[in-house]
Structure 1
């Protein structure tokens, strides 16, 4: 038993340096716990076929699209338990829809540091289903269209509609982001709102630092200035807040990045039991594409990731909605630049404070 414990701990410590990406989906954190757990994780996690086998592949490494959904429903379209909804502080189960409010393109190069590029959710872009819309809407629009098509053809079983609709949503979101950035997508990771909550809960909360006190009743955020420890519910409010921030939704994007960095720091101090607990959580919160080989992924992870946010040109009002105006050429040039020369690492002076 001692030998087995030492082996688990050795693998755990070696892989902590790669926790920055593993925590993007709790299942990937869990895969770093011990090689012996990878098989059980792979069989327990929902798999998607939204990226076909003959889809274009990146020639300069690997591109992973991480999608965070706003839905308050589980993977089968069922409402979360009332006590969980109360702890989420995110309203009733019918709120949120299926927008991809978090979109991160994680580029893993053949060598050197990786870069996680946040795609602002309100960018006005061509959608794969036709027409223009906010980039976050590709998933939900395609889901609704597919479910309507199936109902018209005589399919009415709820879980069948949910599964098919979400697969259509994933395909549309991958295609929309890929076309907008002019980058092939090799893999996808989907995690819903409850998944962010479970990550923080499994680790006993996270530590962040704010430049100013802030309060937003819509997200439940109520934080003083300075360094502080957030429990799972507070952490979810932290990543959801956009009202009352000087940069609005772009500041929320930076908070998502700060959350991932905070989780990475937290994982470094967590014990094996805490990370093991996240395995079971991952199986109900995370979807991976069918070709995602967790063993190979964990073995080939680079030692460092750097965050950046893709540029917008400013706000615009189109079709009754506030959107981000974007220069597609500039965005694509920035992606190429970041993929070949990631931003410098932040100063190693503890937890950086953000707005």
Structure 2
């Protein structure tokens, strides 16, 4: 249970960061946000060359597109490293601090420069069995951050560095290694990084007055505390955490939980863009306060420019997908994992960037026929319908 409750934090950051950027139109709010946000120098300059470990070049995309990695970290601290109060952890049913640094939510958000194209979020299940950057071999995706952090910390201690330096520099190394791993897996160049924790999720859902969700059936789960009726309802704070953390009782475990997270994020996006949230000064202030307490961004992110890029975005133009996966109980040295084929993942992402052109009516074949066939095969493997933020989807 210690990891479950953090799962959705990175998801919430998708829209939360958008809100933060939009509020940048007000100078005071923008200055307050940017002055108080925690940042880290985690984006390594793009050389345009294959990596040292032989990873292929990134997929082609429009130069002005923006790709963001959103991460929910299993952490019981705020964004400055200070422990969260015991009473808050108890309220969130988060358990005690464990010292673990596994990333339990990872979503790649792609925002096109062309406002006529869809923005999309791509979920990467935490147990995906992949090649970890930094020479660590094949392991679960959610260990990429922790492995590099622990390795770097050991090296720095051996060099006699003080505790503060060890923590700061090893954390940066962990974030960079996670980014490098996802760059290679998806074929996308990550432009920006956003990390959020328990405190942020709770306060963000409270600040917007709750998030609309919908369940196909009533649920009752003693592990997560989820106890909800079927149908549409609005959740915030602890109840929102319970909704997104449940995996027991769900047919596909973590994959179904990813689906819950996407539905929750779709509801949040819908609320942001459709319910006047962005025009309510009190709610904007609450959002900024929540974000500055719990979010870490990459150093140098120009939020004002990002706000301009988001100017024409609407909830109906935001879609959520999951990478294609195989067996969900793949036996590995790290225990049961989710099977992933990197070539299929990259093809899936390429088709999101440049959707295949369907055959003309009456035509037997098109130049993209093979590409369309591959997309159909990948979709069958993924067996997950995309979720659109223009409505409130019902999920299991």
- Return the offset for 1:160: 3.0
User: Any stretches of 5+ residues in structure 2 without a counterpart?
Assistant: 1-10, 49-57, 357-384
Q: In 2, Cα distance between the equivalents of 1:273 and 1:221?
A: 30
Question: Deviation at 1:168?
Answer: 1.0
In structure 2, the residue matched to 1:253 is 258
- Answer whether contact 2:187 2:346 (CA < 8 A) is retained: yes
Q: Displacement, 1:52?
A: 2.1
Measured in 2, the distance between the counterparts of 1:184 and 1:216 equals: 39
Q: Deviations over 1:102-144 (max 9, x none)?
A: 1111112221111111111111001013211111110111111
TM-score for the superposition, normalised by structure 2: 0.78
The 8 Å contact of residues 116 and 306 in structure 1, kept in 2 or not, is answered as yes
1:289 lines up with 2:298 in the alignment? yes
Indicate the SS of the match to 2:394.
coil
Task: Give the superposition deviation at 1:28.
Answer: 3.8
1:341 paired residue among 342, 355, 380: 355
Flag as ranges the 4+ runs of structure 1 deviating above 3 A.
25-28, 53-59, 342-348
Which residue pairs with 2:151 in the alignment? 145
Deviation at 1:22, TM superposition (A): 8.6
Q: Residues 22 and 69 of structure 1: is their aligned pair in 2 closer, same or farther, counting only changes over 3 Å?
A: closer
What is the DSSP-based 3-state SS (H/G/I as helix, E as strand, rest coil) of the residue aligned with 1:103? strand
CA distance in 2, matches of 1:54, 1:344: 30
Counterpart position of 1:16: none
1:100 pairs, out of 98, 103, 107, with: 103
**Is 1:332 equivalent to 2:346 in the alignment?**
yes
Indicate conservation of the 8 Å contact 1:190/1:287, yes or no. Answer: yes
1:46 to 27, 38, 43: 38
**After superposition, what is the alpha-carbon deviation per residue over 1:238-291, rounded to whole angstroms, capped at 9, x for unaligned?**
121111112210111111111212222333243320121111221121111113
Work out whether residues 25 and 189 of structure 1, in 8 Å CA contact, stay in contact via their aligned partners in 2: no
Secondary structure in 1 matching 2:70: strand
Query: Counterparts in 2 of 1:215-254, with a 5 A limit?
Result: 215-254=220-259
Shift of 1:150: 1.6
1:73 is aligned, of 74, 77, 84, to: 77
Describe the shift of the 1:264–1:279 C-alpha distance in structure 2 as closer, same or farther (beyond 3 A): same
State the partner residue of 2:309. 300
Would you say the 8 A contact 2:77–2:84 is kept in 1? yes
Tell me: CA distance 1:83–1:232, structure 2 relative to 1, closer, same or farther (3 Å): same
Contact 1:23 1:260 in 2 (8 A): no
Candidates 26, 30, 36, aligned match of 2:20: 30
Taking structure 1 as the reference length, what is the TM-score of the superposition? 0.87
* Structure 2 contact 15–269 (Cα < 8 Å) conserved: no
Say whether the 8 Å CA contact 1:124–1:324 is kept in structure 2: yes
Task: Provide the aligned length of Structure 1 versus Structure 2.
Answer: 332
Aligned twin of 2:51: none
